Amino acid sequence: MTTLGSVATAVIAGSGFFIVTYYLLINAGYLLIHALALLQLRDNVRESAWKPSFRAFDSPFYPGVAMVVPAYNEATTIVESVRSMLALNYPDQEIVVVNDGSSDATLDRLVEAFGLRPVDAEVPYDVPSEPIRGVYRSAIHEDLLVVDKENGGKSDALNAGVWLTEQELFCAVDADTLIDRDALLDVVAPFLEEPSRTVASGGTIRVANDCVVQDGQVKEVNLPKTGLPGVQVMEYLRAFYSGRLGLARLKGLILISGAFGVFRTDRVREIGGYRHDTITEDFDVVVRLHEHLSDADIDYRIEFVPEPVAWTEVPDNLRTLGRQRRRWYRGMIETVFASRRMFFRRRYGRVGTVVLPFFTAAEALGPLIEGLGYVLLPIAWYLGILNVEFFLAFLLLTVGVGVFLSWFGVFSEVWSYNRYESPRDVLRLLWYGVLENFGYRQWKTIVAWHGLIEYLRGDQSWGVMERRGFGSEGETSAAAAAAPVAGARGDGAETVADDSAATSGFVWIDWLSEAPDTDGIRWLDRVASDGAPGRFVSVADPAVGVGDGGFVWTRDFADGVGDGGFVWMTDPSDGAGDGGFAIASDGDGVLRLVETADFTDGLGDGGFVWTTDPDLGAGDGGFVWTRDFAEGTGDGGFVWLVGAATGGDN
């Protein structure tokens, strides 16, 4: 064997030994955390079995809680969401909705539904957020406060709510989250037990996909029908009933979900509120609380309570899930790096000496090292130096232990609160615990490496979360088919069609600077607040359209609406200065919308038609570009009409 071959063999063998040893230690830590979680869960189940002889929501001893709800372009869901929060069982509750510069009718819907009236007073604080345009109080529900501010992102919106409430506690909750009616009573229990020490408390997040939702409450719990959301159910069970319970037992809980967490208002203000330069504000704020309180030598506790539940919809496709997980990974690296001074320092207790180092090794570095192992295996096999013992050890430490830990989470669920009562659902969960280790787990290592590259490039994008919305009887609601992520920054948040809105239309959502693969045409309800310059209607005569114009990009309010969008023009010079978007073929023969100053780059005199023929479009139907109107559905198609209040479907 050549010297180069000997070196390669030594490197691969050494790397293999390192990976096996690394995972042996990491999995030992995981097993310890899961064992501690089981002990903590036993104690919580025992405590939950005791019921007070009085009605808890009538007790005068519960601290006041402000539900701080960041809302960006949530017009389709915000009213139902607020109503569900107003219906929570809690004696002293305030709802603070922060309209984070929405470009849709979010504020209008709130004004109409709840009779909002402007608060005739100056903001009394120097709020660490973008400028506040107005504060409103409901004439119907005096506990509802709405803050209207310039867009600044989720952290910025949370800060506005935290500074403008006078409640002792606040609960950070997403606008698209459903909370069990008694969950708020349960999650504040640690504040009742030790009010001076407790600074934060979190509850469990569960998957709402395919559950029956009525009046803002989950009435029937169902396991998702498809594999990808089902595997995420397994992940959530393992994360909450094992990971966070075990860390709470260690007195080292470092993460409370941003979708449902309660904090002492004064303590969060002391650290300056939520940072604006992070994309995982929930993780960051808890770690900073640990750091601040330890530096100040203040005795404190941060708890996790498994019984109170909030429900959220998880992604049902790999593209959306990949964006979410890359963002989570980048945010984790940001927070770990920002808190590096806490590592291995006794001043920060178990958080600094044990939890943060282990979390970094397991969650930040673990997927990268595991991915390296998957690369080394085929290389070693190709070189003829694959050691069978190494292969079996690697398989046991990744797949074998992974299945065991997943089944541990299922056991914890069945043994404790058991929301999935059907034996068939339990068997499916056990199957998902096996399935996630073959393909899905390996995919997540690729996502982690991708996230690391994005972090090193300085990518701060949020990414679009495509949601189907909550519907009754397990069906998704058509009215919430594309709800946005609450608090997402930028012009790209989506809302959905409202057939009753006379001002609906298509606009271009530009995420090009953040995620080049997520830009495109989106339907927005209420494109303009004062009238409809036109809309798409179905006609059988293509001559009904607007002459020989085309769609161009403009940011001129006189031409389009909002901050920019596609408007119909007969003169390209009316567009955004130097041209517009045309349909053109790229180098691979794929048709795309391209920005151009020369309209002859496009496909000539064709147009968009609707088709259900996959040979023409994609999937089960959609808009395709064609030069022959007869290729559409029947003998008609979609054309743009100005003042199209009559006739066709929008």
pLDDT tens-digit readout, 228-280: 899 999 888 888 877 888 898 989 999 998 888 999 999 999 999 999 888 88
Strand partners, 95: 67, 144
Burial 367-378 (b: 16+ CB within 10 A, else e): bebbbbbeebbe
The contacts of residue 598 (CB under 8 Å, 6+ apart) are 579
Alpha-carbon distances, residue 86 vs 89, 219, 292, 632 (angstroms): 8, 18, 33, 48
Q: In angstroms, rounded to a whole number, what is the distance separating the alpha carbons of residues 533 and 644? A: 8
Alpha-carbon distances, residue 292 vs 202, 250, 264, 285 (angstroms): 19, 19, 14, 10
Strand 535-539 to strand 550-554: parallel, antiparallel, or no bridges (unpaired)? unpaired
pLDDT of residue 648: 36
Q: Where are the domains of the chain?
A: 490-642
pLDDT of residue 554: 42
Q: Is 407 left (phi over 0), alpha (psi -120 to 50) or beta?
A: alpha
User: Is the pTM higher than 0.75?
Assistant: no
The first and second tokens of residue 508, run together, are 């271009």
pLDDT of residue 382: 80
Residues of the chain with pLDDT under 50: 53-54, 472-580, 599, 603-650
Residue 6: its H or E element: helix 3-48
pLDDT of residue 2: 63
The contacts of residue 512 (CB under 8 Å, 6+ apart) are 519
Q: In angstroms, rounded to a whole number, what is the distance separating the alpha carbons of residues 205 and 86? A: 20
pLDDT of residue 293: 96
Helix, strand, coil percentages, rounded to 5, for the chain: 40, 20, 40
pLDDT of residue 521: 46
Q: 146 near 119, Cβ under 8 Å?
A: no
pLDDT of residue 74: 84
